[in-house]
A and B are shown apart, each in its own frame.
Chain A
Amino acid sequence: MELAIYILALPLLSFLILGLVGKNLSHKVAGILGTLSLMVCTVIAYSVAVTYFGAGRSEDGLFPTLMPYNYTWLPLGGNLSIDMGVLIDPISVMMLVVITTVSLMVHIYSLGYMKGEKGFQRYYAFLSLFTFSMLGLVVATNIFQMYVFWELVGVSSYLLIGFYYTKPAAIAASKKAFIVTRFADLFFLIGILIYGYYTQDFSFTINESILLSASAVLPLALGLMFVGGAGKSAMFPLHIWLPDAMEGPTPVSALIHAATMVVAGVYLVARMFPLFVGYAPETLSMIAYVGAFTALYAAVVACVQTDIKRVLAFSTISQIAFMMVALGVCTSTDPHKGGLGYMASMFHLFTHAMFKGLLFLGAGAIIHAVHSNEKEHMGGLRKYMPITHITFLVACLAIAGIPPFSGFFSKDEILTACYDYSVIMGMFMSIVAALTAFYMFRLYYLIFWGKSLYEEQLNSYNSGIIKEKPHKPHEAPICMTAPLVILATITCFAGFIPFGEFISSNGHAYEIHLRTEVAISSILFAIAGIVIATIMYKSGESKLTKAINQSCKGFIKAAYRRFYMDELWMFITKKIIFNCISRPIAWFDKKVIDGSMDMLATITQRLADFVRPMQSGNIQSYSVWFLSGTLALVLILLYLM
């Protein structure tokens, strides 16, 4: 377990090396250095996982919670201190495996995707920084350490979204992501401080008596922490940054904005889960409702987007909302009595990271081939990119919830947990799951089926309508397809991992068993979604599609504009906050605070202007003053005597 520190140290080291001397390295050396260090890191993470789970449960039937390192970093007086350390328990080990795996795939993939880009070394440095921060976040021994790394992942996300810093859209997106998540993190910090103040403890260990005495403020503190998590995990209405974050390089979207960073909020809630269940059940049901609404909202918006990365972004929001819902519907820590959602959520986190990473990397390969994000420039690509096609299809089937792919198993557990909570919640999430299947297959057909733009262009080139020979889409190089294949393989088999053996809400082994009626209904829903998508989009946009588009034009337009959430935020910030708060404050600052300082300066200057002519340097005028002064003194003395 002591090896775990190297999982953190290696990416940090590689960040420092690449960041400091990266400019002097060639692209190849920098890329290989970053990838190699991460490969070692992945191997260590796997060995930690194998040793940890291989060592088995301790006598009380739980996997032990280990802390190989824990140092007091900042003593705050009393018993309160901020520690830095490494915490090893089932969910952190699971996260270590997920993060290192996806990160390694992205590192390898980027060797091909980012080839020849300006700032290649910088890119790898930032990737290493991100990996370090994310790993630090999951192994945090206390909520404050988590917060520190939480902000670090925010910074690295900002840096990577704005990687193409000459593109105004990328800069705007990076700023938006940073400001929105930072705004949410403010609530997180307040929550942490309230929690720390009342419980005199930042660590995750549970002390019943202290918690009971603080139980009045715990729902508030946990609710505020959830707001932070909602910002990072793009829950409605703080989701607005995630679609724009797609301006970053595609592998970055795969790593940060699909697989790892955005699930930090879910991880946070899972980390604090015993507190949520024990002391703030109403906060937990609020999480469930927020999640359910977000899932539906994002799924509807994803159905009409034209930019393939935007579709995936909204699908990510929707899937994370699934995990949030799963956590939210838990009513106890016993997985047999309403605590199933915890395991389901972590399971879905695991499988989602793999297939969503795969989807993004596949989308990257497609964008690499056609040099565009828009669906208009795609279609009919299955002939040109067979490997991408197959792996993408696997991921689509997984996210749609078709057995035997991994997404089916995890989503099924979530739906079961939802049905346990209430039938309405279960039905609602099933419908969202059907929508998921629909929009993913819409995307799939639009990219790989239908008319090929290249063939059309080739025809018109041959008949002389256009002069330029069109660019032929081509399969990605091996270093890009290899990660696709690896992730697809994981996606095919991850569903059979006995996940409940390792992670469950109370730590005891839980055997996953599919509930027949839920499983069948969810498969039927998924198939229905796929069938509708097939009818509507298989051969381009059919007449039926056009008719549907025509009949609910207004709704589709509203959905395309994401139901005007960005405009609403813009209105709130620009019109209300700027005008009602910022401008008065700015006025006060300029006129009153600056004004009083300016006045002091002005008075001094005026005084100086008045005094300065006396110091003319002219001896004669000095002597006149001197004489008049002397005379005046003499007169005064005479008068006094």
Chain B
Amino acid sequence: MIIPAEYYLVLSAVLFFIGVFGFFTRRNLVSLLISTELMLNAVDINFAVFNAYCYDHLEGYIFTLFGIGIAAAETAVAIAIIINVYRNMKTIHIKNLRELKD
């Protein structure tokens, strides 16, 4: 039985908007980071699904792998920044991080 592509797409859309919602509403830097990861993963799923169902080559999968790799690197950098922010400001709540703005 082949799972129809729409199922995957619905999953990815739901995942993406959960990420968007989290990105808009969370005030914690780590939560924001997790939300962006969710959005990235939703995109990755889309790449894989479209490659599997509508395309003969491998570019979609390769792109997914790149996406995962970049996501990992980005997470590492972001976490490092967040830790440094915490060390300096003793907080990672986004409301309190206004130094660069003012």
Contact = CB atoms under 8 A, between A and B. Distances in A.
Contacts of B24: 620, 623-624, 627
B94 interface: yes
A616 B101 CA distance: 8
Contacts of A617: 98, 100-101
A334 to B, nearest CB: 91
B101 to A, nearest CB: 3
B13 interface: no
Interface string A510-522: 0000000000000
Nearest to A620: B24
A624 B24 CA distance: 7
The 4 closest A-B CB pairs, nearest first, are A617-B101, A624-B24, A620-B24, A623-B23
Nearest to A615: B101
B20 interface: yes
A627 B98 contact: no
B100 A620 contact: no
Contacts of A623: 23-24
Contacts of A616: 101
B20 A627 contact: yes
A616 B94 CA distance: 13
Interface in B1-49: 20, 23-24
B34 to A, nearest CB: 15
B29 to A, nearest CB: 11
A507 B16 CA distance: 111
Interface in A565-620: 616-618, 620
Contacts of A618: 101
Interface string B44-62: 0000000000000000000
Contacts of B100: 617
Contacts of B98: 617
A624 B23 CA distance: 9
A618 B100 CA distance: 11
Contacts of A620: 23-24, 94
Interface in B53-102: 94, 98, 100-101
Interface of B: 20, 23-24, 94, 98, 100-101
A620 B26 CA distance: 9
A627 B20 CA distance: 9
13 contacts: A616-B101, A617-B98, A617-B100, A617-B101, A618-B101, A620-B23, A620-B24, A620-B94, A623-B23, A623-B24, A624-B24, A627-B20, A627-B24
Contacts of B20: 627
A624 B21 CA distance: 10
A439 B94 CA distance: 94
Nearest to B100: A617
Interface string A622-640: 0110010000000000000
Nearest to B95: A618
Given A617-B101, A620-B24, A627-B24, 8 more contacts: A616-B101, A617-B98, A617-B100, A618-B101, A620-B23, A620-B94, A623-B23, A627-B20
A495 to B, nearest CB: 89
Max chain B CB contacts within 10 Å: which of A617, A620, A623, A627? A620
A627 to B, nearest CB: 7
Interface string A495-507: 0000000000000
A627 B24 CA distance: 10
A131 B24 CA distance: 84
A616 B95 CA distance: 12
A373 B100 CA distance: 74
Contacts of B94: 620
A620 B95 CA distance: 11
A91 B33 CA distance: 99
B48 to A, nearest CB: 23
Nearest to B26: A620
B26 to A, nearest CB: 8
Contacts of B23: 620, 623
Contacts of B101: 616-618
B12 to A, nearest CB: 17
Nearest to B27: A620
A599 to B, nearest CB: 31
Contacts of A627: 20, 24
Nearest to A627: B20
Contacts of A624: 24
A629 to B, nearest CB: 14
A456 to B, nearest CB: 81
A623 B25 CA distance: 11
Interface in A335-380: none
A111 B100 CA distance: 71
B74 to A, nearest CB: 15
A624 B100 CA distance: 20
Nearest to B23: A623
B82 to A, nearest CB: 14
B13 to A, nearest CB: 13
A618 B24 CA distance: 11
Interface in A81-109: none
B91 to A, nearest CB: 16
Nearest to A616: B101
B24 to A, nearest CB: 6
A620 B23 CA distance: 7
B36 to A, nearest CB: 10
Nearest to B17: A627
A331 to B, nearest CB: 88
A617 B98 CA distance: 8
B19 to A, nearest CB: 11
B41 to A, nearest CB: 18
A618 B102 CA distance: 11
A623 B20 CA distance: 9
A206 B98 CA distance: 84
A617 B24 CA distance: 14
A617 B20 CA distance: 19
Nearest to B94: A620
A271 to B, nearest CB: 73
A139 to B, nearest CB: 70
A623 B19 CA distance: 12
Interface in A159-187: none
A618 B94 CA distance: 9
B9 to A, nearest CB: 16
A512 to B, nearest CB: 92
B8 to A, nearest CB: 21
B98 to A, nearest CB: 7
B80 to A, nearest CB: 18
A373 to B, nearest CB: 68
Interface in A403-452: none
B75 to A, nearest CB: 17
